[in-house]
A and B are shown apart, each in its own frame.
Chain A
Amino acid sequence: MDYIVILIAAVFVNNIVLSQFLGICPFLGVSNKISTSVGMAGAVMFVMTIATTATYLLHNYILLPAGLDYLRTITFILVIAALVQMVEIILKKVSPPLYQALGVFLPLITTNCAVLGVAILALGLENSSLLKAVFFAFSNSLGFGLALIVFASIREYLELANIPEGMKGVPINLLVAGLLSLAFLGFTGLV
């Protein structure tokens, strides 16, 4: 039951992009085509889940026992950066087709604040366990993917629309994101 609540909360109610504002850069940056946004969503799903597993273990088994909790930010960002590099190298070797699909997005993920954000948020879960933290990260990455792909599909239609001169580019995208966020606000109270 707990897990269903985590899933629904992360995907709809507290959507990581539209209500928590994490990962806005890739959300605005790589959302002009559905195909690229699917690739980005896949890469984030992959890295976010692995990164949270690693940081959760690091925090609970090394940092906390050693009383080094204040080094959290530094160690997490380094672990994520190293992990992204490693994932890139391993994918290249093990699964070239997957690397082809996700490769270009991997380096961008180090500076995706959603990954670091979820890794930190996962530490604050109630009665947390490794499984719960990993599931939380996975649910959030689903939420990220959903928001990104929906936004990209709207933007593809936007290409054809007749937009006033002053609103072209960033402003219209922000407005669309605002309306999308308004739609997600309707899920409040679901869990």
Chain B
Amino acid sequence: MANTIDQKQNFLKGIVKENPIFVMLLGMCPTLGVTSSAFNGFGMGVATLFVLLMSNTVVSLVKSQIPSKVRIPAFIIIIASFVTIVEMVLEAYIPFLYEQLGIFIPLIVVNCLILGRAEAFASKNDLKSSVLDALGMGLGFVLALTVLGITREILGNGSIFDYKFVSEDANTFILFILPPGAFIALAYLSILFNKLTAKTA
């Protein structure tokens, strides 16, 4: 059995060393598409974290039952089921977020991060490691989306989590809440991320 230090590494790797956005470049579409505000980025991150956690758990539990030839379609069905659950729950309880995220909620299904972890990790490891792996990767994803959302909201709207800290008629870089701003903000954030991780390594 894996020891505790191993598990800690396993959990932490998703947050910095193998961060899904900044290092692995997985799940870029929702990252760029929904981060026009910090709240949307955070909401998308949590929805993805939930699906990732559930799919990793289930895949890890049933891995020995699935013939290896049909494993990818089987994983996709498992993921799609949880995405449907998330879609229904959001629509029922947080309709505001459901409208904001729109098309990107069903698209969690094709987020390469989730299928990638199911295939590369959960289908080969035991339940505990898979859960920790999903939590680490998911938190890394939430973190990246929230940071990007905060950056774009501060620059583009002069607010954090809808709390406005500049006067109503102040000029802000509206560019950053428009589509091009997503690419540009992420470009500079990944330069910063590379710089910071290069120092600690």
Contact = CB atoms under 8 A, between A and B. Distances in A.
Interface of A: 18-25, 28, 70-74, 76-78, 81, 110-113, 116-117, 120-121, 166-167, 170-172, 174-175, 177-179, 181-182, 185
Contact of B28 (A28, A120, A172): A28
Contacts of B112: 25, 111
B73 interface: yes
Given A74-B84, A167-B191, A182-B180, A81 B28 contact: no
13 contacts: A19-B179, A20-B33, A74-B77, A78-B77, A111-B112, A113-B110, A120-B106, A166-B191, A167-B187, A171-B194, A175-B183, A178-B182, A179-B180
B70 to A, nearest CB: 11
Contacts of B77: 74, 78
Contacts of B179: 18-21, 181, 185
A74 B190 CA distance: 33
B107 A113 contact: yes
Secondary structure class of chain B's binding surface, majority of residues: helix
A181 B84 contact: no
Contact of A78 (B73, B83, B178, B191): B73
Interface residues of B, number: 38
Decide if the interface of chain A is mainly helix, strand, loop or mixed.
helix
Contacts of A120: 103, 106-107
B25 A28 contact: yes
Contacts of B184: 174-175, 178
Nearest to B182: A21
A120 B84 CA distance: 14
A167 B190 CA distance: 9
Contact of A170 (B175, B180, B190, B195): B190
Given A70-B88, A166-B191, 7 more contacts: A21-B32, A22-B33, A72-B106, A112-B110, A174-B190, A181-B179, A182-B180
